[in-house]
Structure 1
Amino acid sequence: MTALCPCQSGLNYVDCCQPFHQQTALPQTAEQLMRSRYCAYTMKNIDYIIATTVPSQQAQLDKALLLDWAETTHWTGLTIVRHLAKISKIHSAVEFKAFFTNEQGEQAHHEHSLFVKLNERWYFVDPTVDLPSQKQPCLCGSGKKFKHCCGAFL
């Protein structure tokens, strides 16, 4: 029997997020990337979390901290509230609620996430790490100032 994917797409893991985690396919939408990242957290696949963050931010991520969060959290569900597929030519947004339990009890992480498509691949823009100033080049490498690119959506 094949297990349903933790991302709650209703598909089996092997037909849903597994190809992304094994790097045999790329998510075609920001929502697919969001779901695969949630699934990666449930499986403690921190390398995937880092690899799917915009490349200029990857070195700023604390792998040990991310792993600790994944290991001390029991993920219980995911709800996609809204997927804005085209907020610009290269940007999408996903509003979601990730449900979990930890030592504080049952909780929900509600987030509006920004995603950027670079070289035909979707990446998560992490607002929790240092961001460029408004007049600096954008972290996605578009060549635009941050305020006219990713910064306009954060």
Structure 2
Amino acid sequence: MATTIKHCFCGNGFTFEQCCQPIINGKVDAKNAEALMRSRFTAYVLKNYQYILDTYSSAKRTHITISELSDSAQDTQWLSLQVLTHHCQTHTAQVEFKAFYQVHHTYYVMHELSGFIFESGKWLYNHGTMQKGSGEFSPERNSQCLCRSGKKFKKCCGM
């Protein structure tokens, strides 16, 4: 029996079926770099490393393997995504985001400015530059939980 995912992992407010699933499954192309960024985050949550590899630019794709992607994220639990900015031109775009994740019992934030290119009729990830504030992160106990459960951190993942 298939499991229904109520809210998409990318945090866009839509269901998975309405948001990232059709992009990840190849039914539709990402309409812009932000949609691609959100689908890539969701693919990391789902450990869909083939999709992640397929959405690198052709220049970058030749230098990375599925096993490298899998190995680098083996103990990582991706929790939430905040897209901060999205700037798009005809064939290039930038998306600034913060991705929150956990490795064992330690929380981290990855603050990145990502570059995308429009190649062969699709948006593809080309490069990323880490921004100030990336690294270990200590959530406030009374803040909203990073997993988007709607609970306070201390009553959810911070227990």
| TM-score range relative to shorter protein | 0.7 to 0.9
Residues of 2 paired with 1:104 and 1:24: CA distance? 37
Q: Does 1:64 align with 2:70?
A: no
Residues 75 and 115 of structure 1, relative CA distance in 2, 3 Å threshold: same
Q: Does 1:37 align with 2:40?
A: yes
Residues of 2 paired with 1:2 and 1:44: CA distance? 15
Q: Compute the displacement of 1:2 (Å).
A: 4.6
Residues of 2 paired with 1:2 and 1:74: CA distance? 17
Q: Compute the displacement of 1:68 (Å).
A: 2.2
For normalisation by structure 2, the TM-score amounts to 0.74
Partner of 2:107: 106
- Larger helix share, 1 or 2: 1
Partner of 1:20: 23
- 1:42 is paired with a residue whose SS is helix
List alignment gaps of at least 5 residues for structure 1. Answer: 129-154
- 1:71 is paired with a residue whose SS is coil
Residues of 2 paired with 1:7 and 1:111: CA distance? 15
Q: How does 1:119-138 map to 2 (within 5 A)?
A: 119-126=120-127
Root mean square deviation, CA, Å: 1.6
List alignment gaps of at least 5 residues for structure 2. Answer: 130-159
Q: How does 1:81-120 map to 2 (within 5 A)?
A: 81-86=84-89, 89-103=90-104, 105-120=106-121
Aligned residues: 126
Residues of 2 paired with 1:80 and 1:31: CA distance? 8
Residues of 2 paired with 1:10 and 1:77: CA distance? 12
Deviations 1:95-146 (A, max 9, x none): 0000001036010011000000023210000359xxxxxxxxxxxxxxxxxx
Residues of 2 paired with 1:122 and 1:85: CA distance? 11
- Structure with larger RCO (C-alpha < 8 A, sep 6+): 1
Partner of 1:79: 82
Percent of paired sites with the same residue: 32
- 2:62 is paired with a residue whose SS is helix
Residues of 2 paired with 1:127 and 1:31: CA distance? 14
Residues of 1 paired with 2:16 and 2:128: CA distance? 28
Deviations 1:65-86 (A, max 9, x none): 2112333111111000111122
- Larger strand share, 1 or 2: 2
